[in-house]
Structure 1
Protein backbone atom coordinates (compact mmCIF):
# COMPACT_ATOMS: atom_id res chain seq x y z
CA UNK A 1 0.00 0.00 0.00
CA UNK A 2 1.35 3.41 -0.90
CA UNK A 3 1.80 6.16 1.64
CA UNK A 4 -0.30 9.29 1.69
CA UNK A 5 0.11 12.75 3.18
CA UNK A 6 -2.67 14.74 4.80
CA UNK A 7 -1.87 18.38 4.08
CA UNK A 8 -3.67 21.26 5.82
CA UNK A 9 -3.44 24.97 5.07
CA UNK A 10 -2.97 26.62 8.48
CA UNK A 11 -2.14 30.21 7.54
CA UNK A 12 -3.90 32.74 5.35
CA UNK A 13 -2.59 33.52 1.87
CA UNK A 14 -2.98 37.28 2.37
CA UNK A 15 0.36 38.93 1.66
CA UNK A 16 1.94 35.72 0.33
CA UNK A 17 4.00 35.74 -2.87
CA UNK A 18 2.10 34.76 -6.02
CA UNK A 19 4.38 31.76 -6.67
CA UNK A 20 3.59 30.42 -3.21
CA UNK A 21 -0.15 30.91 -3.80
CA UNK A 22 0.15 28.85 -6.97
CA UNK A 23 1.93 26.06 -5.10
CA UNK A 24 -0.88 25.97 -2.53
CA UNK A 25 -3.49 25.93 -5.31
CA UNK A 26 -1.57 23.14 -7.04
CA UNK A 27 -1.89 21.06 -3.90
CA UNK A 28 -5.67 21.56 -4.08
CA UNK A 29 -5.97 23.73 -0.98
CA UNK A 30 -8.56 26.50 -1.19
CA UNK A 31 -8.95 28.16 2.20
CA UNK A 32 -7.54 28.14 5.71
CA UNK A 33 -7.99 24.84 7.60
CA UNK A 34 -8.80 23.00 4.37
CA UNK A 35 -7.21 19.52 4.25
CA UNK A 36 -6.43 17.22 1.34
CA UNK A 37 -4.84 13.79 1.06
CA UNK A 38 -2.18 13.28 -1.59
CA UNK A 39 0.14 10.44 -2.52
CA UNK A 40 3.58 10.79 -0.95
CA UNK A 41 5.60 11.44 -4.11
CA UNK A 42 8.76 13.52 -4.62
CA UNK A 43 6.70 16.09 -6.54
CA UNK A 44 4.23 16.60 -3.69
CA UNK A 45 7.04 16.66 -1.11
CA UNK A 46 8.78 19.35 -3.15
CA UNK A 47 5.62 21.46 -3.20
CA UNK A 48 5.19 21.06 0.56
CA UNK A 49 8.84 22.01 1.11
CA UNK A 50 8.34 25.25 -0.86
CA UNK A 51 5.73 26.58 1.57
CA UNK A 52 6.25 24.84 4.94
CA UNK A 53 5.36 28.03 6.84
CA UNK A 54 1.79 27.84 5.47
CA UNK A 55 1.11 24.12 5.91
CA UNK A 56 0.84 21.32 8.42
CA UNK A 57 1.21 17.77 7.14
CA UNK A 58 1.23 14.25 8.48
CA UNK A 59 2.00 10.87 6.97
CA UNK A 60 -0.80 8.35 6.66
CA UNK A 61 -0.26 4.66 6.10
Structure 2
Protein backbone atom coordinates (compact mmCIF):
# COMPACT_ATOMS: atom_id res chain seq x y z
CA UNK A 1 0.00 0.00 0.00
CA UNK A 2 1.17 3.54 -0.71
CA UNK A 3 2.23 5.87 2.05
CA UNK A 4 1.51 9.55 2.47
CA UNK A 5 3.34 12.18 4.47
CA UNK A 6 1.17 14.46 6.57
CA UNK A 7 2.33 17.76 8.05
CA UNK A 8 0.44 19.79 10.65
CA UNK A 9 0.47 23.44 9.58
CA UNK A 10 -2.23 24.98 11.83
CA UNK A 11 -2.92 24.60 15.52
CA UNK A 12 -5.78 22.55 16.92
CA UNK A 13 -6.36 25.13 19.67
CA UNK A 14 -9.94 26.52 19.66
CA UNK A 15 -11.10 23.70 17.38
CA UNK A 16 -13.96 21.28 18.11
CA UNK A 17 -13.10 18.23 20.21
CA UNK A 18 -13.74 15.95 17.23
CA UNK A 19 -11.02 17.70 15.20
CA UNK A 20 -8.58 17.62 18.13
CA UNK A 21 -9.19 13.89 18.53
CA UNK A 22 -8.61 13.32 14.80
CA UNK A 23 -5.27 15.17 14.91
CA UNK A 24 -4.26 13.10 17.94
CA UNK A 25 -5.38 9.86 16.26
CA UNK A 26 -3.21 10.67 13.25
CA UNK A 27 -0.25 10.92 15.62
CA UNK A 28 0.42 14.64 15.25
CA UNK A 29 1.60 16.47 18.35
CA UNK A 30 3.45 19.61 17.23
CA UNK A 31 3.20 22.16 14.46
CA UNK A 32 5.31 21.40 11.38
CA UNK A 33 5.65 17.78 12.48
CA UNK A 34 5.67 15.36 9.55
CA UNK A 35 4.42 11.80 9.91
CA UNK A 36 4.21 8.98 7.39
CA UNK A 37 1.09 6.81 7.28
CA UNK A 38 -0.31 4.11 5.03
CA UNK A 39 -2.89 5.50 2.61
CA UNK A 40 -5.82 3.42 3.86
CA UNK A 41 -9.43 4.58 3.51
CA UNK A 42 -9.55 5.27 7.26
CA UNK A 43 -6.46 7.51 7.20
CA UNK A 44 -7.63 9.32 4.06
CA UNK A 45 -10.99 9.99 5.74
CA UNK A 46 -9.24 11.49 8.77
CA UNK A 47 -7.08 13.63 6.48
CA UNK A 48 -10.16 14.95 4.71
CA UNK A 49 -11.84 15.74 8.04
CA UNK A 50 -9.00 18.05 9.18
CA UNK A 51 -7.68 19.16 5.79
CA UNK A 52 -7.71 22.81 6.90
CA UNK A 53 -5.18 22.03 9.68
CA UNK A 54 -2.77 19.80 7.74
CA UNK A 55 -1.16 19.45 4.36
CA UNK A 56 -0.09 16.35 2.49
CA UNK A 57 3.62 16.52 1.68
CA UNK A 58 4.70 14.75 -1.49
Q: Pick the TM interval, shorter chain.
A: over 0.9
Calculate the TM-score normalised by the size of structure 1: 0.89
2:23 alignment counterpart = 24
Structure of higher CA gyration radius = 1
1:46 alignment counterpart = 45
Is there any run of 5+ residues in structure 1 with no aligned partner, and where?
A: none
What SS does the aligned partner of 1:29 have? coil
> How far 1:58 moved relative to its partner?
3.3
Runs of 4+ in 1 over 3 A off after TM superposition: none
Alignment RMSD (CA, Å): 1.0
Alpha-carbon deviations, 1:7-28, whole Å to 9, x = none? 0100011111111000000000
2:11 alignment counterpart = 12
Calculate the TM-score normalised by the size of structure 2: 0.93
Is there any run of 5+ residues in structure 2 with no aligned partner, and where?
A: none
Distance 2:2 2:57 in 1: 11
